Amino acid sequence: MTSPVDEGLLRSLTPGVLGVLVRRGADFATAEDAVQDALVEAVRVWPDDPPRDPRGWLITVAWRRFLDAARADTARRRREDLVDQEPEPGPAAAADDTLLLYFLCAHPSLTPSSAVALTLRAVGGLTTRQIARAYLVPEAAVAQRISRAKRTVSGVRFDRPGDVATVLRVLYLVFNEGYSGDVDLAAEAIRLTRQLATAIDHPEVAGLLALMLLHHARSASRTAPDGGLVPLAEQDRGRWDTGLIAEGVRVLQTALSRDRLGEFQAQAAIAALHADAPTAEETDWVQIVEWYDELAALTDSPVVRLNRAVAVGEADGPRAGLAALAALDASLPRHTAVAAYLHERDGDLATAATLYAEAAHQAQTLAERDHLTRRAARLNARLSGRGVAPERTS
């Protein structure tokens, strides 16, 4: 009887298996190759001969592959000494092995792009090709990044836990950036963050998970049929995923009750307030401004202050928003776009149209440029008394 291999199961076991090998003393680069070999072997063998203990099977096969590679290596003798070391760890150690992998792949000595590539492959179990497609770069480039990253972290010792913030930054990047071809990077980031949350009890891990869930809930409504961006205020809220929202809010509330606020919890709180509003008009902007104040105190990021100006514009009127904006550096990305929006809200359509066009030229993404160009075109049509195209509602 042949049954297809559960790829999800296979990939969820990947980091733990690799963690065991590294804990037994295998060098990371060789161990990672060995685990990839074991995964390929599993896909080949399991349909006809499913193992009783998939994790144990993978560890055995990967360890054997590692030893074969080690024997072929010049450091042969040192590694063969490892053969009889350490019994198979119990379930408690399994979580630690997974955690160790997260820390290793997000090690501060790596550049962000290397950490992302290594995390997706070694923790996520994605292939080099899948990662290359997700970031629209040649497979050879990703292969190089991964092998260099493996060399960089090979000498790292794991006698003490790393900083969870570095891991969270990598997972945030996976969620927030990338083209998402045949792999849904956002879903993958959520899976990896969920897995991390079961391995470590930390309010910011929960905060990031909640943030991802609450934003992923809107994914269906974020893009128009023509591929254009639909801003939050114009999204069809009926298409938001209420299951993801409920889970995100639950995860966030538990995290907030620990009273150790961090930037991801604060961002998630803002997303939760948006999720909570049945219509854009019913959004609790006053509370959102308060959360931006918290966030600004935590991160001191200019982008946060820019978003705060938008929120102030909604809470206290566009003039107040423009006043908040005037205090910020005009060269910030999206500064002009925000100014355009606030002037439009203030009824100064001519200024808004000019600023939207200017903002379109400064846009850093195609979708944003097209969106801003449409806004400028719509206002220009109104100003010249030509027909007004109706607002897009979905």
Interacting residue ranges for another protein, rule: CB under 8 A: 111-114, 116, 135-138, 140-145, 148, 175-179, 186, 211, 215-216, 219, 222, 229, 232, 267, 270-271, 274, 307, 310, 363-369
- Residue number with CB closer to another protein (200 or 367): 367
Residue whose C-alpha is closest to residue 127's, from 192, 54, 35, 58:
35
> Do 240 and 217 meet the contact criterion of CB atoms below 8 Å apart?
yes
Q: How far is it, in rounded angstroms, from Cα 18 to Cα 3?
A: 25
Beta bridge partners of 223: 229
Shortest reach from residue 190's CB to another protein, in Å: 11
CB of 177 to another protein, least distance (A): 6
Q: How many angstroms separate the CA atoms of 107 and 65, rounded?
A: 25
Instruction: Give buried/exposed letters for 254-277 (b at 16+ CB in 10 A, else e).
Output: ebbeeeebbbbbbbbbbbbbbbee
Ranges assigned E (strand) in 190-263: none
The closest of 117, 206, 111, 204 to 164, measured between CA atoms, is 204
CA distance 265 to 255: 7
Give me Rg for the CA atoms of the chain. Answer: 25
Shortest spacing between CB 288 and another protein, in angstroms: 9
- Give kind and range of the element (H or E) at residue 3: none
What number of residues does the chain have?
394
- Answer for the pair 210, 263: CB distance below 8 angstroms, yes or no: no
The amino acid at 206:
A
The rounded distance, in Å, linking the Cα atoms of 112 and 119 is 10
Handedness of CA 134, 137, 140, 141 (dihedral sign): negative
Residue whose CB is less far from another protein, 18 or 134: 134
Q: How far is the CB of 310 from another protein (least distance, A)?
A: 7
Q: CB 185 → another protein: shortest distance, Å?
A: 9
**259 Cβ partners below 8 Å, 6+ apart?**
none
Tokens for 29? 């680069």
> Quick one: 143 or 165, whose CB is closer to another protein?
143
CB of 293 to another protein, least distance (A): 15
| Cβ pair 236, 285 in contact under 8 A | no
Between 18 and 208, CB nearer to another protein: 208
At its nearest, how many Å lie between another protein and the CB of residue 128?
11
Cβ nearer to another protein, comparing 25 with 112: 112
- Considering the complex, state which of residue 61 and residue 363 has its C-beta at the smaller distance from another protein: 363
Q: Which residue number, 24 or 345, has a Cβ lying nearer to another protein? A: 345
Q: Give the nearer residue to another protein in terms of CB position, either 11 or 216.
A: 216
Other C-beta atoms closer than 10 Å to the C-beta of 115 total: 27
| Nearest residue (CB) to another protein, 156 versus 229 | 229
Q: How far is the CB of 176 from another protein (least distance, A)?
A: 5
What dihedral angle (degrees, nearest 10) is formed by the CA atoms of 75, 81, 84, 86? Answer: -80
Nearer Cβ to another protein (73/179): 179
